[in-house]
């Protein structure tokens, strides 16, 4: 038996995609998160019968049921920290009889069912499977047996998460298989990259279109703001702030170097 755990937050403005919100505003960042979550679930729908959506906050279960409909099994996340919640959720899955458990979030909407299937296959050979992200974290983790220590004392939301997790696995003598390098949609350049990939795939979705239209509107607004700021700056003989440059949404995506632990 295998189990897929999908960690999901209820999309509330100001509570999701906070790094994007600092640039795009709370509501638009929330719309981005909702789109990421919906596309993730759509792409993993073939695995629905062996999946559980682990919901945060716990009191949002009814709202998530209304949002997602009756097709997905739901369960509240339990624990004070992300590590605590991962420990509890994986322990629950193994206690229910699972022999292979994979955990994903909803920040990597490019992830598809074949990627998860590859992770389950890897767990036939390894004790732990992990998909590293370019920012030093991971987009997927899987276990073939309970291993609380893999999630304990990790400095979450830092570039050292992946390296620390590998160190924990080594200490626990877990053999490790690594999946291809991926990325989370956390920053503006990640969002632009993902939207470009979705356009190339021909993805059709109301939320995606809304996000792209909002980006275009913001681009126009910032170009106008830049013009006004540039005039004032010339009068004051100072340089406009780089965030107001008119091409800040149009520039090429910066390179995404691999995390040293992934090399």
pLDDT in tens, 113-138: 999 999 999 999 999 999 999 999 99
Peptide bond before 207: cis, by omega within 30 degrees of 0?
no
- Tell whether the model's pLDDT for residue 65 goes beyond 60: yes
Its sign, for the CA torsion 226, 229, 235, 240, is negative
What pTM does this model have? 0.82
SS3 at position 216: helix
Confidence of residue 175 (pLDDT cuts 50, 70, 90): very high
* Both tokens assigned to 57: 């906050």
CA distance 145 to 132: 20
> 103 is written with which tokens?
């955990």
CA pair distance 144, 153, nearest whole angstrom: 21
Report the alpha-carbon distance of residue 197 to residue 88 in Å, rounded: 34
pLDDT recorded at residue 21: 95
Taking each continuous run of H as one helix and of E as one strand, the counts in the chain are 8, 7
Cα separations in angstroms, 147 against 33, 89, 141, 227: 30, 12, 12, 56
Mean pLDDT to the nearest integer, 154-161: 96
Could you tell me the fold of the domain covering 2-178? Spore Coat Polysaccharide Biosynthesis Protein SpsA; Chain A (3.90.550)
Provide the percentage of residues in the chain whose pLDDT is more than 70: 81
Q: Which residues contact 214 (CB under 8 A, 6 or more apart)?
A: 24, 28, 31
Residue boundaries of the structural domains of the chain: 2-178, 204-251
Of the candidates 199, 217, 216, the one whose C-alpha atom is nearest the C-alpha of residue 208 is: 199
Q: Is 30 helix (H, G, I), strand (E, B) or coil?
A: helix
At residue 161, the pLDDT reads 98
Burial classification of residue 114, based on how many CB atoms lie within 10 Å of its CB (0-12 exposed, 13-18 middle, 19 or more buried):
exposed
* Alpha helical stretches, state H, 47-187: 61-68, 82-95, 113-122, 161-171
pLDDT category, 215, cuts 50, 70, 90?
Answer: confident
β-bridge partners, 164: none
């Amino acid at each position: 038996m295998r189990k897929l755990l999908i960690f999901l937050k209820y999309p509330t403005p100001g509570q999701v995609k906070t790094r994007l919100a600092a640039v795009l505003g709370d509501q638009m960042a929330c719309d981005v998160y909702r789109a990421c979550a919906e596309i993730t679930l759509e792409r993993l729908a073939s695995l629905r019968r062996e999946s559980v959506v682990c919901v945060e906050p716990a009191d949002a279960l009814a709202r998530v049921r209304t949002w997602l409909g009756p097709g997905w099994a739901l369960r509240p996340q339990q624990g004070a920290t992300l590590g605590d919640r991962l420990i509890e959720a994986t322990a629950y899955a193994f206690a229910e009889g699972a022999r292979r458990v994979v955990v994903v979030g909803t920040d990597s909407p490019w992830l598809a069912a074949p990627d998860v299937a590859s992770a389950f296959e890897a767990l036939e050979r390894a004790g732990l499977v992990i998909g590293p992200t370019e920012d030093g974290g991971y987009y997927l983790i899987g276990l073939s047996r309970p291993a609380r220590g893999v999630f304990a004392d990790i400095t979450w939301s830092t570039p050292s998460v992946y390296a620390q997790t590998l160190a924990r696995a080594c200490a626990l003598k877990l053999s490790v298989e690594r999946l291809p390098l991926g990325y989370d949609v956390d920053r503006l350049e990640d969002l632009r990259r993902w939207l470009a990939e979705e356009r190339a795939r021909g993805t059709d979705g109301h939320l995606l279109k809304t996000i792209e239209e909002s980006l275009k509107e913001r681009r126009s607004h910032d170009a106008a703001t830049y013009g006004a700021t540039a005039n004032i700056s010339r009068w004051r003989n100072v340089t406009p702030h780089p965030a107001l440059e008119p091409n800040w949404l149009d520039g090429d995506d910066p390179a995404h170097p691999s995390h040293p632990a992934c090399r």
